[in-house]
Amino acid sequence: MAHWLRDRGFEAYAVRGGVDALEGRSPPLSPEDVPRAQAAGRALGALQDPRFRLYSTGVLISLTAKAVEGAAYGYVVLLVGGSAAALGVIGFLSTIPNLLLALPGGALADRYDQRKLLLAFQGVSMLVPVSLAVLSAADSLTVPVMGTLAFVGGVLGALSFPAFQGMLASMVPRKDLESAVAINSMSMHAARFVGPAVAGLLLATGGPTWIFVVNAAGFPFVLAALVLLPASRTRGGESATKLGGAISDGLRYVLGQRSIASLIVLTLLASLFATPAVAFMLPAIVRFQLDAGGGTLGALTAAMGLGSLLGSLALLILSRRPNKGGPILIGYFATALAIAAVGASSSIPLSLALAGVGGFAAVLFIGLSTVVVQSMSSHEMRARAMAIWAAAFVGVLPIGGLVTAALAAWIGPGNAVLVDGLVTLVGGLVVVALRPEIRWLGCAALPEACIAATNPVAVALEAEVETTRT
């Protein structure tokens, strides 16, 4: 309870073990609490629900197929006559919808049946890779067409993301929500690890058309899972409100919780500086900083992928912690330091090691952030809170890419990446200094899981400790 009060700006004090421990008693568990506590400790507890198993299997297959196309899309753009500038424009077109539509998408997901929204959005989304496959087979692909379809896919993806996140909470009991989010995050990173390898094999043996065929073939799996799931709960009272009012309500809700608001700021810093350094500057680092070629680029990418996969396994364990503030901050600052060091490194072995560390740490920060925002949000606001997080994480990425590109043109790619990492580091230190509530992430939403008490005796004890220190 003390964490909850402090998160909202009130003075509160905590005693390890609560009032029972303060008075020398061991707090007993009621019979119904014993199985609940045991279930909460299982990292894979969400997989016990058959609905979640069905849903997560369909999503894993679809994410892997999407990762295949994502890894090869830029290469296909170059094959049809595009340039490096065209890659930048298409990357902008595919990501800018997250900034423009994430909040409206969250408001829609919190007002209407998320299952029906996903069936509609994903059904239309499947037409994008189908169109690309048909045009590629007919040798009619052009850069403008690929840019247009990338924008359409980005729009549908931005509208789908909040509903996907909301569906997780509707399929599992509250005690297994963190497990479900962690498993979903692990599936995403596993797909990103497998997808590029499959893409390289398909490009070498079958050609670009098969890239789009594989992506299109992944959609029926998630659509089938959605069809077999029951309808999600709708918010009758919310349906009558205007979309703009629903968005503003979501913003007030998130900003009213200091720890979540501080986490959003950290996410914003990571998207503006940390992510562009990796997403856009890695080829330039390999070419100009390390004086190497495609093999080294592939090795660095694989090292990051391996680190991400290992981070996903750690995520399953750490997601069970009541207080996730510590691991989140460790992941954030380790990522910042790894990026800065990559920018300064001229050693290939050192850069490979740093890429693995950065991949591991980034997954801890991103994955646990997703778990925290999901678990700390109420059912009525969850999709909107996740939409705000997505806007901060993906929506500003195009702006961050422009900033990093300008730095690279001014001081070179290595120095640009070094500056990005240092800005991320310093910005995070400022956030922690101004909002120490971020160290309690998870406790603010689950006070019963955190060691706290607001008994007057506890307050007196806290005052006595402070007097002794002085």
103-158 confidence digits (pLDDT tens)? 788 878 877 888 888 899 999 999 999 999 999 999 889 989 999 999 999 999 88
CA atoms of 231 and 395, how far apart (whole Å) = 29
The CA distances from residue 400 to 89, 151, 218, 264, in Å, are 14, 18, 31, 16
Out of 139-143, 186-190, 458-462, which region has the weakest mean confidence (pLDDT)?
Answer: 458-462
Q: Report, as an integer, the average pLDDT of 381-401.
A: 81
Among positive and negative, which fits the CA dihedral 393, 398, 401, 406?
Answer: negative
Does 315 lie in the same domain as 277? yes
Does 254 lie in the same domain as 183? no
CATH of the domain at 175: 1.20.1250.20
Decide which of 240, 263, 280 is a domain's last residue: 240
Please report the pLDDT score of residue 291 as a whole number: 85
CA nearest neighbour of 68 among 208, 184, 178: 208
Does 113 lie in the same domain as 249? no
CA atoms of 169 and 160, how far apart (whole Å) = 15
Q: What is the mean pLDDT of the chain?
A: 77
Name every residue whose Cβ is closer than 8 Å to that of residue 40 and which is 6 or more positions away in sequence.
175, 176, 320, 449
Name every residue whose Cβ is closer than 8 Å to that of residue 386 and which is 6 or more positions away in sequence.
106, 161, 162, 165, 166, 370, 373, 374, 377
At residue 454, φ and ψ (nearest 5 deg) are -120, 20
Does 359 lie in the same domain as 268? yes
Does 132 lie in the same domain as 220? yes
Does 186 lie in the same domain as 130? yes
Does 309 lie in the same domain as 266? yes
CA nearest neighbour of 278 among 343, 328, 329, 330: 343
Please report the pLDDT score of residue 435 as a whole number: 86
Please report the pLDDT score of residue 60 as a whole number: 87
Letter for the amino acid at 125? S
Please report the pLDDT score of residue 168 as a whole number: 73
Does 372 lie in the same domain as 229? no
What is residue 232's DSSP assignment?
P
Decide which of 240, 260, 290 is a domain's last residue: 240
Range of the domain at 195: 43-240
Does 436 lie in the same domain as 402? yes
Q: Is residue 412 part of a domain?
A: yes
- 275-329 pLDDT, tens digit each: 888 877 777 788 788 888 767 777 787 788 888 888 888 887 887 777 788 899 9
The total of other beta-carbon atoms located within 10 Å of residue 234's CB is 14
Q: Is residue 408 part of a domain?
A: yes
Does 285 lie in the same domain as 192? no
Q: Is residue 371 part of a domain?
A: yes
Site of tokens 């490009």:
203
Statement: residue 451 has pLDDT above 60: no
What's the pLDDT band for 41 if we cut at 50, 70, 90? very low
Statement: residue 420 has pLDDT above 60: yes
What is residue 395's DSSP assignment?
I
Name every residue whose Cβ is closer than 8 Å to that of residue 466 and which is 6 or more positions away in sequence.
none
Statement: residue 449 has pLDDT above 70: no
Q: Report, as an integer, the average pLDDT of 343-366.
A: 91
- 212-230 pLDDT, tens digit each: 999 999 999 889 888 877 6
pTM score, whole prediction: 0.73
Please report the pLDDT score of residue 216 as a whole number: 93
DSSP string, 414-448: HHHHHHHHHHHHHHHHHHHHH-GGGGGTTTTT-GG
CA atoms of 455 and 18, how far apart (whole Å) = 9
Whether the Cβ atoms of residue 2 and residue 452 lie closer than 8 Å to each other: yes
Q: Is residue 260 part of a domain?
A: yes
CA atoms of 405 and 284, how far apart (whole Å) = 11
CA nearest neighbour of 273 among 348, 364, 367, 343: 343
What is the total count of domains within the chain? Answer: 2
Please report the pLDDT score of residue 6 as a whole number: 54
Statement: residue 336 has pLDDT above 70: yes
Q: Is residue 467 part of a domain?
A: no
Decide which of 209, 240, 271 is a domain's last residue: 240
Statement: residue 83 has pLDDT above 50: yes
Q: Is residue 18 part of a domain?
A: no
Does 258 lie in the same domain as 163? no
Among positive and negative, which fits the CA dihedral 383, 69, 72, 150?
Answer: negative
Name every residue whose Cβ is closer than 8 Å to that of residue 88 and which is 6 or more positions away in sequence.
280, 401, 405
> How many Å is the Cα radius of gyration of the chain?
23
Q: Is residue 460 part of a domain?
A: no
Please report the pLDDT score of residue 158 as a whole number: 87
Q: Is residue 114 part of a domain?
A: yes
CA atoms of 76 and 340, how far apart (whole Å) = 31
Does 271 lie in the same domain as 204? no
What's the pLDDT band for 360 if we cut at 50, 70, 90? very high
Share above pLDDT 70 across residues of the chain, in percent, rounded to a whole number? 79
Whether the Cβ atoms of residue 446 and residue 371 lie closer than 8 Å to each other: no
Please report the pLDDT score of residue 99 as a whole number: 81
* Per-range mean pLDDT, top range of 6-10, 363-367, 394-398: 363-367
